[in-house]
């Protein structure tokens, strides 16, 4: 949702808040029932702990439903469903007091980064994604072996690529381990690759992410990509051009065609195959989102995370839950 459409964000928030409050009432009713059930137990401390756990779980569930509602309305109220780094839904809920807890919810878009699982598509290397990653690594003066080793991790064979590494290589480690012959499941798994030292992993963290791919490849959102990643789209995109697209984090192309028509990009757009290749890599939407819910209670702070995917109508479904973040958030924005 474009924040330039003033007046819409409060309406979203009000509706989301109404739903959240309704859910909180359910949570409190449930906690009351829990109290009655455990009222006969002698172990009051244990009873209290379990009650808090249940309450926190219900509150976290309520925050996820709130997130889903806010995201759906964002699309419903937009003529052209596109997302930027200034969208209202990124504001979240901060420290909202409820009966016996304080709850916070935060949503973080995950389409500013390159999804390494896109490197292997439909039983073969995806050349547009491989080329993109090689350009990004070159811009960062990093070894292109990183891309080969990622592909070997993903591909089902045991034939190492020119600078790659398969099971036989990692078997020599102590302790030894195997490649996945399938998608990466978490960003930290990248550190298992021979070419990725802790220092390199840290430098890559803002630019790479691990998202599940079912169906078409995930696409990066041109509105939220940092300048270095915009440069990696094509060798002809210079730092000034990348900065003019980035617009200090204020970019908001409604459609990819608006991007193709932007001054410096227009010349490239006339080249054969440029638009088709870009359409495989980028879009103007944020489809994957990390939701963080924090529930502060008397004696405990419970933080949980969910990875959400938005459908074409803006509604969100939970792909994964975790007690640790999916993304090292807010390094760039």
Binding site residues, Ca ion, CB under 5 A: 152, 155, 157, 159, 179
Give the residue with the Cβ less far from Ca ion, 111 or 179: 179
Nearer to Ca ion, 5 or 178 (CB): 178
**Min. distance of Cβ 272 from Ca ion in angstroms?**
31
Alpha helices in the chain (DSSP H): 8-38, 44-76, 127-139, 145-154, 167-170, 198-204, 227-231, 239-246, 256-260, 263-269, 274-281
Q: Among 247, 241, 229, which Cα is nearest to 268's?
A: 241
Smallest distance, Ca ion to C-beta of residue 12, A: 45
Tokens of 164: 């790659």
Sign of the alpha-carbon dihedral angle for 68, 74, 77, 81 = negative
Tokens found for residue 129: 């994604």
Place of tokens 């509150």: 59
**Is the bond preceding 174 in cis, omega lying within 30 degrees of 0?**
no
- 169 versus 275: smaller Cβ distance to Ca ion: 169
Based on CB atoms, which residue is closest to Ca ion, 193 or 308? 193
Minimal distance, residue 144 CB to Ca ion, in Å: 15
Nearest to 224 by CA among 246, 194, 203: 246
Element (H, E) at 105: strand 101-109
- Of the pair 45, 159, the CB lying nearest Ca ion is at 159
Q: Which is nearer to Ca ion, 61 or 161 (CB)?
A: 161
The least distance separating Ca ion from the CB of residue 176, rounded to whole angstroms, comes to: 15
Q: Are 212 and 184 in contact (CB under 8 A)?
A: no
CB of 2 to Ca ion, least distance (A): 43
Nearer to Ca ion, 164 or 227 (CB): 164
CB of 224 to Ca ion, least distance (A): 32
The residue among 130 and 219 lying less far from Ca ion, judged by its C-beta, is 130
Least Å from the CB of residue 74 to Ca ion: 40
Q: What is the dihedral of CA 45, 50, 51, 52, to 10 degrees?
A: 90
Q: C-beta of 169: minimal distance to Ca ion in Å?
A: 11
- Strand, helix or coil for residue 23: helix
* Contact call for residues 204 and 196 (beta carbons, < 8 A): yes
Greatest extent of the chain over all pairs of C-alpha atoms, in Å: 77
Look up residue 189 and give its two tokens.
């798994």
Compute the distance between CA of residue 274 and CA of residue 209 in angstroms, rounded to an integer: 24
Give the whole-angstrom CA distance, residue 34 versus residue 51: 6
């Amino acid at each position: 949702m474009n924040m330039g459409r003033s007046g819409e964000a409060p309406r979203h928030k009000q509706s989301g808040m109404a739903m959240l409050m309704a859910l909180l009432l359910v949570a409190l009713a449930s906690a009351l029932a829990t109290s009655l059930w455990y009222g006969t137990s002698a172990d009051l401390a244990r009873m209290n702990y379990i009650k808090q756990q249940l309450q926190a779980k219900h509150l976290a569930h309520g925050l996820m439903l709130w997130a889903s509602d806010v995201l759906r309305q964002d699309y419903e109220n937009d003529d052209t469903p596109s997302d930027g780094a200034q969208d209202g839904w990124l504001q979240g809920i901060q420290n909202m007091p409820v009966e016996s807890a304080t709850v916070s919810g935060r949503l973080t878009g995950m389409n500013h980064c390159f999804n390494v699982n896109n490197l292997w598509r439909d039983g073969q290397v995806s050349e547009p994604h491989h080329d993109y990653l090689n350009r990004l690594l070159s811009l960062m003066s990093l070894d292109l072996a990183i891309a080969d080793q990622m592909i070997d991790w993903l591909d089902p064979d045991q034939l190492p690529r020119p600078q790659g590494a398969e099971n036989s290589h990692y078997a020599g480690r102590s302790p030894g381990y195997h490649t996945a012959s399938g998608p990466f499941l978490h960003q930290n798994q990248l550190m298992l690759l021979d070419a990725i030292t802790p220092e390199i992993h840290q430098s890559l963290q803002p630019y790479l992410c691990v998202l599940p791919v079912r169906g078409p490849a995930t696409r990066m959102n041109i509105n939220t990509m940092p300048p270095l990643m915009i440069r990696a789209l094509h060798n002809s995109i210079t730092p000034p051009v990348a900065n003019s697209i980035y617009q200090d984090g204020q970019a908001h192309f409604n459609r990819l065609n608006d991007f193709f028509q932007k001054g410096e990009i227009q010349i490239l757009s006339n080249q054969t195959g440029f638009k088709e290749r870009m359409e495989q890599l980028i879009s103007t939407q944020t489809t994957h989102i990390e939701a963080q819910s924090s529930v502060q209670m008397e004696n405990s702070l419970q933080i949980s995370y969910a990875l959400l995917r938005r459908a074409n109508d803006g509604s969100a479904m939970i792909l994964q839950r975790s007690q640790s973040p999916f993304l090292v958030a807010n390094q760039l924005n």
